[in-house]
Amino acid sequence: MIELPIERQVLDKGWVRLEECMGGDAAVIRGARICYQSTAKSPQADERLIRRLMAAEPKHNTVFEHAVFRFGVKCPIFVARQWMRHRIGSFNEKSLRYCAADREYYVPDEEDASAVALYRQQMEASFDVYEQLLAAGWKKERARGVLGLAVYTEFIWTVNAWSLMNWLQKRLDPAAQWEHSQYAEAVLEIYLQVMPITATAFKELVLKR
């Protein structure tokens, strides 16, 4: 029995949290075995089947779609923008039309202290203006225009295991932005915990780790 939520801290103030999951490795097995009307003769046979499916070309991808997750995420807006390009999944995000922005933003761990100070100064100034505009009676939806992309946002993401692996593969690639890949690393850890057979097969056979 897996105890939820499972949470990992990411970047300086972010996190990713598995709130719900359905199906797990058993759902993949069910999806695969119904095709052949077969039953497992041993747990090792199920594991071998999943590894075969993971390596198969062309992909028998739909069997992985029966396992579903809902994650909660707190990340900088620029990471969320990239994340939401992944269309196969469902998102709902905290609205800065309806909620006032918290004075919370990502600060990169850069060595050049004076550049970091400049960055902070700009972010703080943008929040000062934001608050002044709200105080002057501006709507939140308009005043938010002065805020930067490093401001933290929150969203929930419901996604099946196939689409999750597509996201992981793309966002763990060296070409992906480092900040986004930190979220992918955290999600991979959680994936390995809740779907150990499928996630291990994915890690070894697809990610080649």
Tell me which residues are annotated as active site: 171
Q: In the bound complex, which residue of the shown chain has the CB atom lying closest to ligand FAD?
A: 87
Which residue type sits at 125?
A: A
Binding part of the chain for ligand FAD, among 1-9, 66-74, 139-147, 169-177 by CB under 6 A, reads 169-177
Q: Identify the residue among 126, 153, 160, 163 touching ligand FAD (CB under 6 A).
A: 163
Per-residue contact flags (x/-) with ligand FAD for residues 97 to 136, judged by CB under 6 A: ----------------------------------------
Q: Identify the residue among 8, 13, 86, 103 touching ligand FAD (CB under 6 A).
A: 86
Q: Which of residues 174-193 bind ligand FAD (CB under 6 A)?
A: 175-176
Binding part of the chain for ligand FAD, among 16-24, 48-56, 85-93, 201-209 by CB under 6 A, reads 85-93
Q: Is the preceding peptide bond at 58 cis, omega within 30 degrees of 0?
A: yes
List strands edge to edge, sheet with 90-93: 6-10, 14-22, 68-76, 152-160, 90-93
Q: Identify the residue among 94, 170, 206, 207 touching ligand FAD (CB under 6 A).
A: 170
Which helix (H) or strand (E) segment holds residue 44: the answer is: helix 43-55
- Asked whether the beta carbons of 167 and 88 are under 8 A apart, the reply is no
Nearer to ligand FAD, 61 or 72 (CB): 61
CA atoms within 13 A on the CB side of 48: 6
Closest distance of CB 99 from ligand FAD, Å: 27
Nearer to ligand FAD, 143 or 186 (CB): 186
Convert 84-112 to b/e letters by CB count within 10 Å (16 or more is b): eebeebeeeeeebeeeebeebbbeeeeee
Q: Identify the residue among 41, 57, 85, 111 touching ligand FAD (CB under 6 A).
A: 85
Strands 90-93 and 68-76: unpaired
CA distance 26 to 160: 14
Point out which residues bind ligand FAD (CB under 6 A): 85-88, 163, 166, 170, 175-176
